[in-house]
A and B are shown apart, each in its own frame.
Chain A
Amino acid sequence: MKVTIALILLLIAGGAALGFVTYQTNVNNDDDTHINILDIISEVRQLDSTINTLILKSRYGLIPDYDELARLTVNLRERFNDLKATPLSKYATQNEEINTYVTDFNEQLKLKIDLIENFKSHNAVLRNSIKYAPRLGDTLIAQVEKDGKQKAMTQLKIINNALYRWALYNESDEARIIEQNASSILDLQNAVKDEVALLEYSSHLAAVVSEQEQTQRYIQSALDVPTDTTLNRLDSTYIAYHLDVVKEASKIRYYILGYALLALAIAIYLGSMLKRSYSRLEEKVEDRTQQISTAYEHLKESQEQLIQSEKMASLGQMVAGIAHEINTPLGYVNNNVAIVRDSFSSMHDTLKHLGVIYKEAKQKPHNSKKINSTLISALKQYRTLENDDVINEASELLDDSNHGLDEISELVNNLKNFSRLDRQSAEYFNLHEGINATLKIAGSTLKHHNVSVVKDYHDLPDIECIPSKLNQVFLNIITNAAQAMPESGGNLIITTELEEDGVRIIFKDTGEGMSEETRNKIFDPFYTTKPIGEGTGLGMSISYKIVKSHHGKIEVITGEDVGAAVVVSLPLAQPEHNDDG
């Protein structure tokens, strides 16, 4: 048992540890996600490079507007932000290097976009001035040439040629020439008539110089932002880290496999344990079943014996009562017969004289003297008999004997009624008859305990029952009541009543009553208040069973010192299908 609990705890601990490790490693190594991240990085690199091309094209006026550049710049930022929704952002919190590259790229991108915006602004101005300034210069040159201002014309030409060349080749030499001359251009005011045009030319020259420089600076700075390098590093670091994660994940897979094997082994072990204990249990169950059935057999046997002895006890009690009942008339019949037999010899002597007389009378001649003397002697004897009242007495004695025999005959009849051995099945039966017969049977017991029986009978219909069984119940109750009487005796009031759906018989005694404990246990088998060996404790239990099997009810109403009333209720008829339950 302890081993089992330990194994289960081990499994739980292993599972928890594995879960924790799995959670810690944040494995998200499915190939789609991985490829998606690589796709995004590659797309970002592509966009970055296209933007580089576009700003270079814009620098040389090769594209008409910034729409595409603006769109791609937005795309680049959005696409990079898409990485936030991927596991890469989680990796960034775990891996310092990845975090650095992501942060770096973010900042570099922001810087680059700012630089590009600045480039766009300056480039737009530059493109305007570089287009317009040389043409304005040409106009001014034509003007001073017409006016014959040779010196001014030379100076303007140097500047304007430098402008043209710079527009095309963008070389610093030309820039220096323009820069050097731009400051002195306003000195030509005297030579140039169109002062406004000269001022415009001057400001555009300044714009070309400063915007060219700025444009160049911003485009160079924008291209110099190492977004590409950062992205490459991010890419390779990510791939390396991802490989590590995958490796880690596969390690975890081994752990999981190991755990599964362990779990399987433990499960098998527990299973076999279970099977073993199960078969052991089965054996035990069989043993116990054997024991229980043996015990049950024993119990049944002893119960049968007990029931038998209860029967024998009842029978003994009954026989004792009956013997007593029979003994009394038998005694006096015996006496009477003896007395009658005694008197019969004197009557026989008298009758003998009759024979002598008859013989003398038949002889010729008659001996009258002898006849006479014999007759007188017979008469004398008869007178003596009459005087002694022998004949009357004999007749009375015979009457008395007759009465005694009648009594015995009635008793036997009652006994037959009581046991009804001839009728074991249910029939319609008059309960009063049964109670009366029982009272007769219990007569000696009742007498012995000085019990006077009061019958409070009401009209009852015959009810369906097994009479012998019910009589047994009545005998039990009556015997118990009698035994419960004090020495001075008491009353047993038997009331029968017709109820709505049955009959009720109440045996109320004026005995000692019974305690609460007795009342509660009275129907329990083997419960008895009699001294050991006198009662089986089955009487009331059997009565209860009998009444139950008649679908009736038996209950005891009592208290200490108030007597007891046993109430038996019985239905008029038994249900058709008697399950005997």
Chain B
Amino acid sequence: MNMLKLFISIISLTFYISAFAVEPIQPIPVIPYDKEKAALGKLLFSDVRLSVDDTISCESCHFLDKAGVDHVAKSIGVKGSINKRNSPTVFNSAFNFRQQWDGRASDLEQQIDMAMLNPRVMGMGSWKAVIKKVSSIDTYKERFKAIYGTEITAEQIQETIAEFERTLVTVNSPFDLYLKGDETAISEGAKRGYKLFKSYGCSSCHQGVNVGGNMFQKFGVLKDINLRGQLNIDLGRHNVTGNEWDKRVFKVPSLRFAVHTAPYFHDGSVKTLREAIDIMTEFQLGRKVPDEHKNAIMEFLATLPGELPEGAK
């Protein structure tokens, strides 16, 4: 029995070690996309006529020249209404395993569906209304016809916008180049920051291609978030599933554009990245992290954004 245990432990250890040889963060790949659809999606993305009072487009909250966000705690929707949560960046959103802070949208198409009908966002009320409005614009009518050859449908509008969003991936970041073997791509400080990022356990959740966005996590897993106030108000995924455990569970956000997308967290209540790191280490890691280490981690985070894609220019 002991022999077997030993054997298993050796095997496990071997795997454990070999597993560590693989980095928890992977370079951003290029996603193939349909050029025609994406080009049409870009037009729709910045067209305010897609909202009920012709004031809001997708870009109203996801500025393509401002890292895909609007830099306010909570975005303004149609008729001056205020959104419930902070707008995350549209860049690299295609890599998220689900969309929305509480993950209630399974993909980009569904997120677009929700935004279009949400009275606090585009406020269109129904897809019938969206289709009617889009169809009344000759350019769209012709281009949809050219691509799909049918009357415009809700699925087509969702697909074209999503297709455009799938082009908004930022390849060749300094850190990705480093991962691919270019030792000079990032500074020594950043390299140290990456090591600390892993050893403190940040990468347990902020991991994968998008440095986040592939799992849910509970806010305040090692220290009660109620101690921080305000951040405890939103019950997150609990609103979707009703499960007790899901209280204050949110999708782990991507850190790819973290350095450019202040303010932070689901309610946009934290103004600086440094403050956000403070809260994360205290409530999620349950550890005291020296300032010097935090600075190094920030230096690492700054190497994550890649080149702006063609569609964002």
Contacts and interface: CB of A to CB of B under 8 A. Distances in A.
A254 interface: no
Contacts of B13: 168
A117 interface: yes
A65 B222 contact: no
B288 A200 contact: yes
B226 interface: no
Contact of B222 (A70, A120, A204): A204
B150 interface: no
Most A CB within 10 A of own CB, among B12, B23, B243: B12
Contact of A125 (B15, B207, B222, B245): B222
A185 to B, nearest CB: 14
Contacts of A127: 201, 204
B163 to A, nearest CB: 17
B241 A114 contact: yes
Interface stretch (B59-67, B80-88, B213-221): B213-221
A77 B106 CA distance: 10
B97 A71 contact: yes
B79 interface: no
Interface in A303-327: none
Nearest to B14: A62
Contacts of B38: none
A259 B121 CA distance: 62
B239 interface: no
Given A61-B19, A63-B19, A132 B287 contact: yes
A6 interface: no
B208 to A, nearest CB: 4
A125 B202 CA distance: 10
A60 B215 contact: no
Given A124-B205, A168-B12, A67 B214 contact: yes
Interface string B258-279: 0000000000000000000000
Given A64-B23, A66-B207, A67-B208, A120 B215 contact: yes
B19 A124 contact: no
Interface in A102-136: 114, 117-118, 120-121, 124-125, 127-129, 131-132
B287 A200 contact: yes
A60 B15 contact: yes
Contact of B201 (A66, A70, A114, A132): A132
Nearest to A211: B221
Contacts of A5: none
Main secondary structure of the interface of B (DSSP, over half): loop
11 contacts: A65-B207, A65-B208, A66-B97, A66-B208, A67-B208, A67-B209, A117-B216, A118-B216, A125-B204, A125-B222, A204-B286
A128 B285 contact: yes
A169 interface: yes
B9 interface: yes
Contacts of A129: 222, 286
B22 A207 contact: no
A74 B97 contact: yes
Nearest to B5: A169
Interface string B222-246: 1100000000000000000101010
A66 B19 contact: no
B3 to A, nearest CB: 14
Contacts of B288: 196, 200
B204 A62 contact: no
Most A CB within 10 A of own CB, among B97, B209, B241: B97
A203 interface: yes
Contacts of B148: none
A118 B286 contact: no
Contact of A168 (B9, B107, B209, B216): B9
A73 interface: yes
A28 B106 CA distance: 32
B26 A65 contact: yes
A299 to B, nearest CB: 74
Main secondary structure of the interface of A (DSSP, over half): helix
Interface residues of A, number: 33
Interface in A45-87: 60-67, 69-71, 73-74, 77
A67 B216 contact: no
Nearest to B209: A67
Most A CB within 10 A of own CB, among B26, B204, B205, B214: B204
A132 B281 CA distance: 13
Nearest to B18: A62
B33 interface: no
A566 B209 CA distance: 115
Contacts of A131: 201
Nearest to B215: A120
A121 B222 contact: no
B204 A70 contact: no
Contacts of B20: 64
Interface in A405-421: none
Contacts of A132: 201, 287
The 7 closest A-B pairs by CB, nearest first: A128-B201, A70-B97, A67-B208, A65-B207, A65-B208, A124-B204, A70-B214
Contacts of B243: 114
A66 B245 contact: no
Contacts of B207: 64-67
Nearest to A116: B215
B25 interface: yes
B24 interface: yes
A65 B252 CA distance: 13
Given A73-B97, A120-B215, A62 B19 contact: yes
Contacts of B245: 118
A203 B201 contact: no
Given A200-B286, A204-B222, 17 more contacts: A64-B20, A65-B26, A65-B203, A70-B97, A70-B214, A74-B106, A74-B107, A121-B216, A121-B218, A121-B249, A124-B204, A124-B215, A125-B221, A128-B285, A132-B287, A168-B9, A168-B12
A203 B222 contact: yes
A117 B16 CA distance: 22
